Amino acid sequence: MSTERRLTNTTVGEVLAGFSSPDPTPGGGSASALASALGTSLLIMVSGLAKTRTGADGERAALAAVAPNLVDIRARLTQAIDDDAAAYDSVIAAYKRPKATAEEQQIRKDAVQTALRGATDVPLRVVRLSGAALSAAETIADNGHASAASDVGVAVALLRAGLHGARLNVEINLGSVRDEAYASATRSEVEQLAQLARDASEAAERSLARGGR
């Protein structure tokens, strides 16, 4: 699917068709951002339900406190769906640059490296945002209405999948990045974020298992 037409402005059927097409984009990076955007949306939904776990004012306040940040995270994840496709299209374009002369080869190499950095930064953003959304999941699980427990569980599963998928995209792109300092720092950050996300998701799942607080 051409990035001239934004994936986020199409129907669900068209989105699925885009992912099913033989075109290189949208691919796993966009799918990861979409998964996390869906997970975040479910958390927002539960936080806004008319009923909380017991109806206590403190529960409503706790849910209201995390909702605005989740709305911002969802908007940024939604943007990343299209950004990832555009970034990978830039990588493809860089590899297609002419390389008949030494000068052209150098220009091509520089363009590829720049594009690879861009294609790494987008899924890295998705890892960060997914982790940030997961950090709010325990609050939603603790205070959200019991009838929505499965929605919170699905949200956590989607966010974990989105984060893992984005991490895979970061790692594969770093394999071609020549800036070793950037690659090392990015790998370290992703590992730390992944651990924090695991801790947050497990805390939310424990809350769900015990029925909230």
What are the tens digits of pLDDT across the range 153-194?
Answer: 999 999 999 999 999 999 999 999 999 999 999 999 999 999
Task: Write down the architecture of domain 27-209 according to CATH.
Answer: Up-down Bundle (1.20)
Is the pTM higher than 0.95? The answer reads no
Domain boundaries, the chain: 27-209
Q: What is the pLDDT of residue 2?
A: 45
CB count within 10 Å of CB 136 equals 25
* Tokens 């306040």 -> residue: 61
d(CA 1, CA 20): 10
Other beta carbons within 10 angstroms of residue 170's beta carbon come to 25
Q: How confident is the model at residue 5 (pLDDT cuts 50, 70, 90)?
A: low
- In this prediction, residues 96-108 reach a mean pLDDT of 96
Q: Could you tell me the CA-to-CA distances from 204 to 73, 115, 201, 211 in Å, in that order?
A: 18, 37, 5, 11
End-to-end CA distance of the chain: 46
Contact predicate 106/172, CB 8 Å: no
